[in-house]
Amino acid sequence: MSDKALILIVDDSPTNLQVLAACVKDDHRIKVATNGLQCLQIAQAEPKPDLILLDVEMPGMNGYEVCQKLKSSDDTADIPVIFVTGLLGDKDEEKGLLLGAVDYITKPIRPAIVIARVKTHITLKLQRDKLNKMAFFDQLTGLYNRHYLIDMATKKVARALRHKYNLWVLMIDIDHFKNINDTHGHPMGDEILKLVASTLVSDNRSEDIAARFGGEEFVVMFDPCDLKNALVKAERIRTKIEQLNPHGIGVTVSIGMAKLVAEDATFERLLKRADEALYAAKENGRNRIEMSS
């Protein structure tokens, strides 16, 4: 995968597409669209563009309408949009900026201006992405961190209670992790944390959440899922981790399971039940799964 940023150029004029592409192709990857619908389809697909150069005057759906749709969707709202237009009025520029565009480039296209504006907004986008990653992700394992988990889990709990579907929480703790650190050193302990984290991710669907809760504790949330399949998932995680055996070191986990019930008004209550089940798993011999009543 290239480290170069991906720019989506949207214009119904082949000449304008060629001119804009020529301005940025040396430093960036490029995708093109010739109408608003194509733009929306490409923007929603992976990999998402890092920046969109969007013509205002297009047949069918114009640039303003496209920008409005981009900004109204959670999947595309964070993609910066630069309007490219022959309209010169302040009101036109104001309209575009109010819709959420980050900048305006006027025609005729001047390559130096395009290059400078694109460079500025790509830099800002990458800096924002880096800050978001630091805010939402655990730096060691790459999993979501505790703060992001609590924020997302609160929303998931409210949604599951409202729509009355199953939601499960697994509280997972690496057994005897202090002994691993004391015997093999903290660098090896860090490696084991990362291996366990990657195992959790490999077992997840895209809509599942896996987070490092703190220390050697992890949380996995998934929905909708019946009891049988939830138990299968938990046992699969336990077995996969037991089979890791990094550098000949035996690694096991204890897992506490809890299913959301009507009495769980908050994520904290659901998590507390999973934590109580985890405590029972440890009390009953570790390397096992216990279910909250």
Instruction: Please give the positions annotated as active site.
Output: 216
CB of 36 closer than 8 Å to CB of 63: yes
Q: Give every strand in the sheet of 81-85, ordered side by side.
A: 29-33, 6-10, 51-55, 81-85, 103-106
CB of 47 closer than 8 Å to CB of 31: no
Helix, strand or coil, per DSSP, at residue 6: strand
CB of 287 closer than 8 Å to CB of 175: yes
CB of 211 closer than 8 Å to CB of 146: yes
Closest CA to 96 of 139, 56, 60, 156: 56
Between helix 227-242 and helix 186-202 the angle, nearest 10°, is 150
Helix, strand or coil, per DSSP, at residue 145: coil
Closest CA to 100 of 63, 58, 49: 63
What's the Cα-to-Cα distance from 270 to each of 154, 257, 259, 280, rounded to whole Å? 10, 10, 8, 16
Q: Return d(Cα 282, Cα 290) in angstroms, integer.
A: 9
The length of the chain, given as a count of residues: 293
Quick one: tokens of 56? Answer: 């205002």
